[in-house]
Protein backbone atom coordinates (compact mmCIF):
# COMPACT_ATOMS: atom_id res chain seq x y z
CA UNK A 1 0.00 0.00 0.00
CA UNK A 2 1.18 3.48 -0.79
CA UNK A 3 1.90 6.22 1.72
CA UNK A 4 -0.50 9.02 0.82
CA UNK A 5 -1.47 12.44 2.07
CA UNK A 6 -4.99 13.74 2.52
CA UNK A 7 -6.59 16.97 3.65
CA UNK A 8 -8.89 17.19 6.67
CA UNK A 9 -10.96 20.01 8.14
CA UNK A 10 -12.53 19.82 11.61
CA UNK A 11 -15.75 21.79 11.15
CA UNK A 12 -17.11 24.71 13.26
CA UNK A 13 -19.61 22.55 15.22
CA UNK A 14 -16.71 20.47 16.60
CA UNK A 15 -14.41 23.44 17.27
CA UNK A 16 -17.27 25.17 19.13
CA UNK A 17 -17.76 22.10 21.37
CA UNK A 18 -14.00 21.88 22.11
CA UNK A 19 -13.66 18.33 20.77
CA UNK A 20 -10.86 18.90 18.24
CA UNK A 21 -8.45 16.89 20.39
CA UNK A 22 -10.85 13.95 20.66
CA UNK A 23 -11.31 13.95 16.88
CA UNK A 24 -7.57 14.23 16.23
CA UNK A 25 -6.98 11.28 18.58
CA UNK A 26 -9.34 9.16 16.49
CA UNK A 27 -7.43 10.11 13.32
CA UNK A 28 -4.12 9.22 14.98
CA UNK A 29 -5.48 5.94 16.35
CA UNK A 30 -6.54 5.08 12.79
CA UNK A 31 -2.87 5.25 11.80
CA UNK A 32 -2.80 8.76 10.34
CA UNK A 33 -0.08 11.27 11.22
CA UNK A 34 -0.82 15.03 11.38
CA UNK A 35 2.03 16.57 9.34
CA UNK A 36 0.51 20.07 9.10
CA UNK A 37 -2.13 21.79 11.22
CA UNK A 38 -3.59 25.26 11.83
CA UNK A 39 -6.73 27.04 12.95
CA UNK A 40 -8.48 29.33 10.44
CA UNK A 41 -11.79 31.19 10.22
CA UNK A 42 -13.06 31.00 6.64
CA UNK A 43 -14.87 33.89 5.03
CA UNK A 44 -18.18 33.14 3.30
CA UNK A 45 -16.47 33.46 -0.08
CA UNK A 46 -13.70 31.05 0.93
CA UNK A 47 -16.34 28.54 2.04
CA UNK A 48 -18.12 29.00 -1.31
CA UNK A 49 -14.86 28.33 -3.13
CA UNK A 50 -14.04 25.33 -0.94
CA UNK A 51 -17.42 23.68 -1.61
CA UNK A 52 -17.83 25.03 -5.19
CA UNK A 53 -18.62 21.51 -6.41
CA UNK A 54 -21.92 21.78 -4.51
CA UNK A 55 -22.91 25.29 -5.68
CA UNK A 56 -26.07 24.12 -7.46
CA UNK A 57 -27.27 22.04 -4.51
CA UNK A 58 -30.19 23.28 -2.36
CA UNK A 59 -28.08 23.12 0.82
CA UNK A 60 -25.22 25.30 -0.54
CA UNK A 61 -26.21 28.49 1.31
CA UNK A 62 -26.74 26.63 4.59
CA UNK A 63 -23.42 24.77 4.15
CA UNK A 64 -21.34 27.86 3.42
CA UNK A 65 -23.01 29.88 6.23
CA UNK A 66 -22.18 27.08 8.64
CA UNK A 67 -18.60 26.59 7.42
CA UNK A 68 -17.87 30.31 7.83
CA UNK A 69 -19.68 30.59 11.20
CA UNK A 70 -16.57 29.98 13.31
CA UNK A 71 -13.01 28.68 13.22
CA UNK A 72 -12.02 25.31 11.77
CA UNK A 73 -8.87 23.20 12.08
CA UNK A 74 -7.20 22.38 8.77
CA UNK A 75 -4.79 19.46 8.71
CA UNK A 76 -2.73 17.32 6.37
CA UNK A 77 -2.83 13.63 7.24
CA UNK A 78 -0.20 11.15 6.13
CA UNK A 79 -0.27 7.36 6.20
CA UNK A 80 -0.91 4.19 4.26
CA UNK A 81 -3.92 4.70 2.01
CA UNK A 82 -4.57 7.98 3.83
CA UNK A 83 -7.39 9.19 1.57
CA UNK A 84 -9.57 6.10 1.94
CA UNK A 85 -8.53 5.50 5.55
CA UNK A 86 -9.56 9.02 6.51
CA UNK A 87 -12.94 8.62 4.79
CA UNK A 88 -13.42 5.31 6.65
CA UNK A 89 -12.70 6.75 10.09
CA UNK A 90 -14.88 9.82 9.33
CA UNK A 91 -17.93 7.67 8.53
CA UNK A 92 -20.90 8.38 6.26
CA UNK A 93 -21.93 11.99 5.52
CA UNK A 94 -25.20 11.51 7.41
CA UNK A 95 -24.41 10.51 11.01
CA UNK A 96 -27.63 8.46 11.08
CA UNK A 97 -26.00 6.20 8.48
CA UNK A 98 -22.44 6.26 9.88
CA UNK A 99 -21.00 3.04 11.30
CA UNK A 100 -20.24 2.62 15.00
CA UNK A 101 -16.71 3.73 15.88
CA UNK A 102 -16.56 6.49 13.27
CA UNK A 103 -16.03 10.18 14.00
CA UNK A 104 -19.37 11.26 12.55
CA UNK A 105 -21.28 8.52 14.40
CA UNK A 106 -19.68 9.63 17.65
CA UNK A 107 -19.70 13.41 17.27
CA UNK A 108 -21.78 14.75 14.34
CA UNK A 109 -24.89 16.73 15.26
CA UNK A 110 -26.72 16.42 11.93
CA UNK A 111 -26.25 15.87 8.19
CA UNK A 112 -25.09 19.48 7.85
CA UNK A 113 -23.14 19.86 11.11
CA UNK A 114 -21.15 16.66 10.71
CA UNK A 115 -17.90 17.67 12.44
CA UNK A 116 -15.28 16.81 9.81
CA UNK A 117 -14.44 17.09 6.11
CA UNK A 118 -12.02 14.81 4.26
CA UNK A 119 -10.77 14.83 0.68
CA UNK A 120 -12.57 12.27 -1.46
CA UNK A 121 -9.85 11.50 -4.08
CA UNK A 122 -6.17 12.07 -4.89
CA UNK A 123 -6.90 15.07 -7.12
CA UNK A 124 -9.05 16.88 -4.55
CA UNK A 125 -6.56 16.06 -1.78
CA UNK A 126 -3.73 17.64 -3.79
CA UNK A 127 -5.81 20.72 -4.61
CA UNK A 128 -7.04 21.23 -1.02
CA UNK A 129 -3.56 20.74 0.54
CA UNK A 130 -2.06 23.27 -1.87
CA UNK A 131 -4.84 25.80 -1.21
CA UNK A 132 -4.51 25.71 2.60
CA UNK A 133 -0.79 25.11 3.21
CA UNK A 134 2.48 26.47 1.92
CA UNK A 135 5.43 24.09 1.65
CA UNK A 136 7.14 25.39 4.78
CA UNK A 137 4.02 24.65 6.89
CA UNK A 138 4.20 20.94 6.07
CA UNK A 139 6.70 19.51 8.50
CA UNK A 140 6.44 15.75 7.96
CB of 25 to ligand ATP, least distance (A): 19
Closest by alpha carbon to 53, among 68, 63, 41? 63
Residues 50-69 that bind ligand ATP (CB under 6 A): 54, 59, 62-63
3-class DSSP state for residue 54? helix
- Give, as one character, the DSSP assignment of residue 88: H
Does position 114 bind ligand ATP by CB under 6 A?
yes
In the bound complex, what is the minimum distance in angstroms from residue 67's beta carbon to ligand ATP? 8
SS3 state at 68: coil
6 has which bridge partners?
77
Closest CB 136 distance from ligand ATP, rounded Å: 26
Write each residue from 63 to 102 as x if it is in contact with ligand ATP (CB under 6 A), else as -, in one continuous string.
x-----------------------------x---------
3-state secondary structure of 76: strand
The length of the chain in residues reads 140
Q: Which of 117, 118, 125, 132 is catalytic?
A: 117
Q: Annotated active-site positions, please?
A: 117
Amino acid sequence: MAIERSFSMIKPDAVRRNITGAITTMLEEAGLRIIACKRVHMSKSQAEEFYAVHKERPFFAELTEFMSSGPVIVQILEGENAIARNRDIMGATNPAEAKAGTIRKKFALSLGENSIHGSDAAATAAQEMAYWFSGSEITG
